[in-house]
A and B are shown apart, each in its own frame.
Chain A
Amino acid sequence: MVEPDYLKFDTLSLHAGQEPDPTTGSRGVPIYQTTSYSFTDTDQAAGLFNLEQPGHIYSRISNPTVAVLEERIAALEGGVGAVCTASGMAAFHLACATIMSAGNHVVASRNIYGGSHNMLNLTMPRFGINTTFVDPRDLDAWSDAITPDTRVLFAETLGNPGIEVLDIPAVAEVAHQHGLPLMLDATFTTPYLMKPIDLGADIVMHSVTKFLGGHGIALGGVIVDGGRFDWAANDKFPTLSQPYDGYHGITFTEEYGHQALSMRARAEGLRDFGAAMSPTNAFHLLQGIETLPLRMQRHVENTAAVVDFLTDNEAVSWVSHPSVSSHPDHELAKQLLPKGAGAILSFGINGGREAGRRFIENVQLASHVANVGDAKTLVIHPASTTHQQLSADDLVAAGVGEDLIRLSVGLEDAGDIIFDLARALRASQKG
């Protein structure tokens, strides 16, 4: 049997979206640090503005350096296209704003990044879009929460901070049975560990800031369009399936079919909301993606070593990572994430909030920052930082206890990471 001779993931990580610069031969991706692009003539200018022909007009809408990153991430995810944004939150907003309008409704996992939770819970209702939060493991809860106004189901591939593994095929089936798309935040897994589109997701978003960039030096976000969802199958998505006055009555599904979402998100969303990624950030993020496969392997190896260490440590009351056999999604993780369930884990520290504080203050190698997915090991105490806007009840619902420490395992020598954690854990118990 013949095989499709596709370029493999590692190759695409280095090459997809780029060919040597046609004018200079530059092998590295040039930083096109420009706001605008000269038109060759009025016909070309009119054609660009009118979506008659492709090309760059103004860097809020597209930029050649950013376009390399977009094509590369789309290639790695297996999507038909991607749109990069200034941050992960901007990507989440762009996706929501592209497919929804006032009066619409979201069903979302309750175990998501605090910022995403805030946007859905507090901010979007001001614009008439409301959300019902559900336990991501409860399939009935997903379908029970769907109303005639629902337009999307949203979750993270790995939840935050309990590292719940989403049963993507099952939740996708619920969504598709209701004529709805499944949107996933795949920041914690990256396309190296899992390809959500192959598993049934329709829109994938990332905070590129995290593992994709890997170095913790540049913010960025992306939405990836899976291209399999039929936006015109029902009347729920008029932004895509009805004429749009913004481009003289074009109907995106009629003209672009499976690429309708990518085209509309750029033509309207970047143009009007303007949360564009800077070319320099795109350049930095591209450098990171070149080594994504190597880094993710090492993240996963180091995580395994850290999990082993924590599991045996007396100061630790519990460890939550899907690789631990007591984790409720241990079996699902083996199936959906055979290369590893990421490098983010949480654990409970004996002695609660006070011990947590002492632990954080005594780590020396690990950095205390509000970030994850850096090449360096990071720690945080969510109850006092990322999730501090949540009420006590919401905290419990989101699975964030006061004793919870979240760890993003980096690429340092595993022995050095463990030495640092051991020292801080000892100090945490000397109250």
Chain B
Amino acid sequence: MDLQCRSLDVKIATGGVALDRDARPVLLIHGAGMDRTVWNQQTRYLAHHGFAPIAVDLPGHGGSDGACHETIGSMAEWVNDFIDEIGMGPVRLVGHSMGCLIALEVASSFSPNVERIVLMGAAAAMPVHPDLLGAAQRNEILAPQLMTAWAHGSRAHIAGNPTPGLWMRSSCQALLERAGDGVIFNDLYACNAYDAGDVAARIECPVTVIVGSEDKMTPPKATAQLVAGFSEVELKHLDGIGHMMMLEAPNDIRKILLEALQ
């Protein structure tokens, strides 16, 4: 369905049910160049387990109107406005990759709007390989290819999609190929330029961080540096899983979310 924010249409996925305004809102934020559909293994489950999932397409992504925001800070301001527009009070924020950086900023700068955060594929800094940045700037297919190659654990490169018939690698690549020209570059540039500073220390709400042992985009070491900054954090480790953990290990992520979001 569509909502509005700053007078522009915002595409959301709600798990295929009408948005239940009496349920606890969970706002899920996708990563660089992606869209709401990366959460399709979680949203419908949450919707039938007491939550109101809202998987959002950031401006300029998927089915949402508007231009991409150029910095993580400006994305966070938009998300904060969007939480106000939803009008269901403070949300549980779930982020993936770039979505984690946005969640960190929203939770630290606009804390009344955030109940708790769950981060997957997170790090305090997300330096982007210059070849990837270059390919993205030139809108070359190499950019989706490199991201897809690095974003999946070794198991996901061969098999193991729990949804019968789906092939994870090409799914990720097709999703990234569908991004408009400049979108991937915009997002990667924003991630590359982001400096977390003391953001972790400024977060007061409960934090859950999920780490994939084979995450090459935000390796466990990089996640650990971020985690060290939180005063209190719950850590979850997934063995043999890469950066696209909500699709690589959907059942584990569903379980963790159900617990962490209570």
Known A-B contacts A51-B16, A51-B44, A259-B37; the reply to A78 vs B131 at CB < 8 A is: no
Contacts A248-B16, A248-B17, A256-B37 given: A262-B178 contact, CB under 8 Å? no
Q: A15-B158, A255-B16, A257-B62 are in contact. Are A6 and B145 (CB under 8 A)?
A: yes
CB distance from A34 to the nearest CB of B (A): 14
| Contact bitstring B1-26, A, C-beta under 8 A = 1, else 0 | 10000000001010111100000000
Q: Which of B149, B171, B177 contacts A81 (CB 8 A)?
A: B171
Q: Does B146 contact A (CB under 8 A)?
A: yes
Contact with A along B142-181 (1 / 0, CB 8 A): 1001101100000101111111111101110111011000
B35 contacts partner chain A, Cβ-Cβ < 8 Å: yes
Q: Check A251 against B164 for contact (C-beta < 8 Å).
A: no
Query: Given contacts A53-B254, A258-B178, is CB(A227)–CB(B170) below 8 Å?
Result: yes
Q: Is A232's CB within 8 Å of the partner chain B?
A: yes
Minimum distance in angstroms from A256 CB to a CB of chain B: 5
Contact of A249 among B17, B160, B166 (CB under 8 A): B17
- In the bound complex, do residue A259 and residue B16 qualify as a contact, i.e. CB atoms below 8 Å apart? no
Contact present for A254 and B11 (CB under 8 Å) = yes
Q: Does A407 contact B (CB under 8 A)?
A: no
A contact residues around B157 at 8 Å (CB): 6-7
Partner of A262 from the list B155, B158, B165, B254 (CB cut-off 8 Å) is B165
B237 contacts the other chain (CB 8 A): no
Chain A: residues with Cβ within 8 Å of the partner, total of: 55
A62: CB under 8 A from chain B? yes
Beyond A4-B146, A80-B171, A256-B40, is A55–B162 a contact (Cβ under 8 Å)? yes
Residues of B with C-beta under 8 A to A64: 164
- A249 to B44 CA separation, bound complex (whole angstroms): 12
User: Would you call B41 an interface residue if the criterion is a C-beta within 8 Å of the partner chain's C-beta atoms?
Assistant: yes
With A16-B159, A226-B174, A227-B171: A257-B165 Cβ-Cβ less than 8 Å = no
Q: Is the CB of A249 within 8 A of B16?
A: yes
CB atoms of B44 and A52 under 8 A apart: yes
Residues of B115-145 contacting chain A, CB below 8 A = 129, 131-132, 142, 145
Chain B residues with CB under 8 Å of A215's CB are none
Asked if B74 is at the interface of the complex by the 8 Å CB criterion, the answer is no
Give min CB distance, B38 to chain A, whole Å: 9
Known contacts A52-B45, A258-B37: A80-B167 contact under CB 8 Å: yes
Q: From A56, which residue of chain B is reached at the shortest CB distance? A: B164
What 0/1 pattern do residues 178 to 212 of B give for CB contact below 8 A with A?
Answer: 10000000000000000000000000000000000
Contact A255 B165 (CB under 8 A): no
Determine the chain B residues whose CB is within 8 A of the CB of A105 once the complex forms.
none
B43 on the interface (CB 8 Å rule)?
yes
Which residues from 33 to 53 on chain B have a C-beta closer than 8 Å to any C-beta of chain A? 35-37, 40-41, 43-45, 47-48
Which B residues touch A50, using CB under 8 A? 44, 48
CA distance A131 to B175 in the complex (A): 32
As a 0/1 sequence over residues 213 to 230 of chain A, the CB contacts with chain B under 8 angstroms (1 = contact) are 000000000000011101
Taking chain A's interface residues, is the majority helix, strand, or loop, or is none over half, making it mixed? loop
- The interface stretch among A67-75, A94-102, A369-377 is A67-75
**Is the pair A232, B63 in contact by a Cβ cutoff of 8 Å?**
yes
A15-B158, A254-B11 known; A81 vs B48 contact (CB < 8 Å): no
User: CA separation between A53 and B44, bound complex, in Å?
Assistant: 8
Q: Kindly state the separation between the CA atoms of A137 and B129 in the bound complex, as whole angstroms.
A: 44
- B148 pairs with A74, CB closer than 8 A: no
Cα-based distance from A66 to B165 in the complex (angstroms): 8
In the complex, the chain A residue whose C-beta lies closest to that of B176 is: A258
A18 contacts chain B at the CB level, 8 A cutoff = yes
Given contacts A70-B165, A71-B166, A255-B40, 6 further A-B contacts (CB under 8 A): A2-B131, A4-B142, A18-B159, A67-B164, A82-B165, A255-B44
Task: Name 10 A/B residue pairs within 8 A (Cβ), A-sorted.
Answer: A15-B159, A16-B159, A19-B159, A50-B48, A53-B254, A54-B41, A62-B165, A66-B164, A68-B159, A79-B167
The 8 closest A-B pairs by CB, nearest first: A250-B16, A227-B174, A257-B37, A62-B164, A74-B167, A4-B149, A54-B163, A70-B165
Residues in B lying within 8 Å of A, measured CB to CB: 1, 11, 13, 15-18, 35-37, 40-41, 43-45, 47-48, 62-63, 129, 131-132, 142, 145-146, 148-149, 155, 157-167, 169-171, 173-175, 177-178, 250-251, 254
Q: Which residues does A use to contact B, with CB under 8 Å?
A: 1-2, 4-7, 15-19, 46-47, 50-56, 62-64, 66-68, 70-71, 74-75, 78-84, 226-228, 230, 232, 247-251, 254-259, 262, 266
